Amino acid sequence: MEHRRGGSVTISPSLTPKSSEKWGRDLRSNENGSSSKHDKEKGVNVQVLLRCRPLSEDELRVNTPAVISCNELRREVTAIQNIANKQIDRTFAFDKVFGPTSQQKDLFDLAVSPVVNEVLEGYNCTIFAYGQTGTGKTYTMEGGGKKMKDGELPSDAGVIPRAVQQIFDILESQNADYNMKVTFLELYNEEITDLLAMEESKLSDDKSKKPIALMEDGKGLCL
Ligand SMILES: Nc1ncnc2c1ncn2[C@@H]1O[C@H](COP(=O)(O)OP(=O)(O)OP(=O)(O)O)[C@@H](O)[C@H]1O
């Protein structure tokens, strides 16, 4: 699949989708995007979503051809390939598909908001974005860079600010006694850094970064 214009947002780790393979979606998620109690009991709590970003102005200017097409209703993405003058399309199924016109709010409301609710019910949840460079991971997770206005998130705010807002909105509405801890880790070239660390960064070359020991367990997995 052409990755330059698509990125996938994964809610928990997942099976890799296979060409033309239609999984039992009924086991994976219900129509409104939240996994049901029944799903959790079966241990099926992983969803793979695909988001395809629109072509940039530069790409439009040089008439970059569309190489994938999204069918949001059928939750399918088709990779259009021309091999030896023969068009060979391959279709991939996902739990959800967000095409080039999808908005940040749509993606959040349909795919992420139910997961944030589950966090507040006590579940551990992970959302991560995966995709080739330039496919829209940062845009999807952080946002397009517009500033907040009158205390409101901008329309291009991504998953992270929206999730934080939802968490605080719910906690405030419950008059709950709460504290929240945030870590912001960067893993780059096998070095892990706490980007929010303040003082203790003196040992690092880059004084703004605090390196953290990266360890492996007996199976070679990073801890
Ligand atoms: N859904 C979208 N709508 C409009 N513009 C988008 C969208 N997704 C991405 N873009 C734009 O496409 C460009 C590349 O996106 P982004 O920087 O998020 O990619 P990335 O996957 O994080 O890349 P890298 O891995 O290189 O950091 C940016 O200019 C971004 O604003």
Pairwise pLDDT comparison (186 vs 98), residue with the higher score:
98
* Mean pLDDT of all residues belonging to the chain: 80
CATH code for the domain of 130? 3.40.850.10
Are 144 and 190 in the same domain? no
Q: Is 136 in the pocket of ligand 1 (CB under 6 A)?
A: yes
pTM beyond cutoff 0.80 = no
* Per-residue confidence (pLDDT) for residue 213, from 0 to 100: 73
* Per-residue confidence (pLDDT) for residue 17, from 0 to 100: 45
Report which protein residue has its CA nearest ligand 1's atom 15.
136
Select the highest-mean-pLDDT range: 7-11, 156-160, 191-195, 196-200.
Answer: 156-160
Alpha-carbon gap, residue 69 to 72, rounded angstroms: 10
**1 inside domain:** no
* Per-residue confidence (pLDDT) for residue 32, from 0 to 100: 47
138 labelled binding-site residue: yes
**195 inside domain:** yes
Q: Positive or negative, the Cα torsion across 11, 14, 20, 23?
A: negative
* Per-residue pLDDT band at 201 (split at 50, 70, 90): low
**31 inside domain:** yes
- State whether residue 215 is helix, strand or coil: coil
Report which protein residue has its CA nearest ligand 1's atom 16.
136
**166 inside domain:** yes
202 labelled binding-site residue: no
Q: Is 6 in the pocket of ligand 1 (CB under 6 A)?
A: no
Classify 128 in phi/psi space as left (phi over 0), alpha (psi -120 to 50) or beta: beta
Taking residue 92's Cβ as centre, other Cβ atoms within 10 Å add up to 22
Are 143 and 195 in the same domain? no
Q: Is 5 in the pocket of ligand 1 (CB under 6 A)?
A: no
218 labelled binding-site residue: no
Overall number of domains in the chain: 2
Pocket test for ligand 1, best of 139, 187, 188 (most atoms within 8 A of CB): 139
Are 113 and 216 in the same domain? no
**96 inside domain:** yes
Q: How far is the CA of 118 from the centre of ligand 1 (A)?
A: 28
Pairwise pLDDT comparison (204 vs 173), residue with the higher score:
173
Over pLDDT 90: what percentage of the chain? 50
* Domain that includes residue 214, residue range: 183-223
Are 114 and 213 in the same domain? no
Q: Is 131 in the pocket of ligand 1 (CB under 6 A)?
A: yes
Are 26 and 123 in the same domain? yes
Are 153 and 193 in the same domain? no
**29 inside domain:** yes
**14 inside domain:** yes
* Per-residue confidence (pLDDT) for residue 182, from 0 to 100: 87
CA nearest to 91, candidates 79, 75, 104 = 79
Are 110 and 21 in the same domain? yes
Are 34 and 119 in the same domain? yes
Are 94 and 148 in the same domain? yes
Q: Are 50 and 140 in contact (CB under 8 A)?
A: no
What ipTM did this prediction achieve?
Answer: 0.99
133 labelled binding-site residue: yes
Are 127 and 209 in the same domain? no
**189 inside domain:** yes
* Per-residue confidence (pLDDT) for residue 37, from 0 to 100: 52
Report the C-alpha dihedral over residues 62, 63, 68, 73, rounded to 10 degrees.
120
The string of pLDDT tens digits covering residues 12-69 is: 533 444 444 433 333 334 444 444 555 555 556 899 999 999 999 999 999 998 889 9
Are 140 and 191 in the same domain? no
Q: How far is the CA of 130 from the centre of ligand 1 (A)?
A: 12
Q: Which of 154, 173, 192 is the last residue of a domain?
A: 173
Q: Can you list the alpha helix ranges (DSSP code H) found in 121-223?
A: 137-141, 159-173
* Per-residue pLDDT band at 151 (split at 50, 70, 90): confident
Pocket test for ligand 1, best of 138, 186, 188 (most atoms within 8 A of CB): 138
Report the atom number in ligand 1 closest to the C-alpha of 144: 31
Q: How far is the CA of 215 from the centre of ligand 1 (A)?
A: 32
Are 163 and 205 in the same domain? no
